[in-house]
Amino acid sequence: MDLDPAIAKALASISTATLTTVLLKKGLRNVWIRRARPLRPVKERLVGRAFTLRFVPAREDLATPESWSSPRSTRAAIEDMPAGCIAVVDAMGVTDAGIFGDILCARMARRGVTALVTDGVVRDVAGVLATGLPVWCQGAAAPPSVGGLTFVNWQEPIACGGVAVFPDDLVVVDEDGAVLIPQALIEPVAAMAGEQERLETWIMSEVEKGASLPGLYPPNAETRARYEAWTAQGTAPGTAREASQGVVQGVVKS
């Protein structure tokens, strides 16, 4: 699950909104994980490889105290999570049973897990927040997961928020939610996203100067030529978007 630190740093400077635009240009429309919202205000954009977990509808014969310590339990899955991953959990959109509480989230934080993303909810929300583990979910519910869900496996393809997630895909999370980048597209998307951010930074500067939008956004041929002339001048980066482009180019083209 290694990820080039330079690519991770570059993607951490690019909004999920820009990433969905770039992925759309690559033909991927369904990459934004629905119902996964930050549980607390977002301090920084996070990037990590997906570590997947899957729940199915509850089966009472499987929801026993013995199952909680079995080799296929959520506890075992957490112990298998590598530092730097983002745990992506298919909770089937269930909102009346919390998949993880404070103790499990504390262990994830201790293992160096970057974040938890789910289309479900958590429980013991005050305790979860106290662990410091960044969480994207639908909210909180007091009942435990066994009240509505049964955990079945980890590190297999899942559906989370209507998005197909495979182990080792890349996940980027910010205040707009969680976006998935397929593993095979990480480097080309990073390169395209850096350029998209740079272009939009320039367009924003034109808007701030009073330029009207028709022909500017999206850019027509004349606008594109002016942008390329500006780029050729080697204008010094002055924003996070421009800085991220410099990092991406250094990674992809080196």
57 CB-contact burial (10 Å; exposed 0-12 / middle 13-18 / buried 19+):
exposed
Q: Confidence class of residue 250 from pLDDT cuts 50, 70 and 90?
A: very low
Rounded Cα–Cα distance for residues 235 and 233 (Å) = 6
Sequence ranges of the domains in the chain: 29-181, 187-252
Q: Is the pLDDT of residue 174 over 90?
A: yes
Q: Is the pLDDT of residue 154 over 90?
A: yes
Rounded Cα–Cα distance for residues 11 and 7 (Å) = 6
Mean pLDDT of the chain: 90
Main-chain phi, psi angles of 31, to 5 degrees: -130, -10
Partners of 49 in the β-ladder: 170
* Helices vs. strands in the chain: H and E counts, helices first: 8, 11
Give the architecture (CATH level 2) of 29-181: 3-Layer(bba) Sandwich (3.50)
| Residue located via tokens 């997630």 | 165
Q: Confidence class of residue 246 from pLDDT cuts 50, 70 and 90?
A: very low
Q: 122-131: string of b/e by CB count within 10 Å (b at 16+)?
A: bbbbeebbeb
212 CB-contact burial (10 Å; exposed 0-12 / middle 13-18 / buried 19+):
exposed
Q: According to the model, what pLDDT value does residue 71 have?
A: 74
Q: Is the pLDDT of residue 243 over 70?
A: no
Nearest partner of 51 among 138, 170, 193, 140, judged by Cα:
170
> What is the pTM (predicted TM-score) of this model?
0.87
Rounded Cα–Cα distance for residues 239 and 236 (Å) = 9
Q: What is the pLDDT of residues 81-121, one digit of tens each?
A: 999 999 999 999 999 999 999 999 999 999 999 999 999 99
Q: According to the model, what pLDDT value does residue 69 have?
A: 67
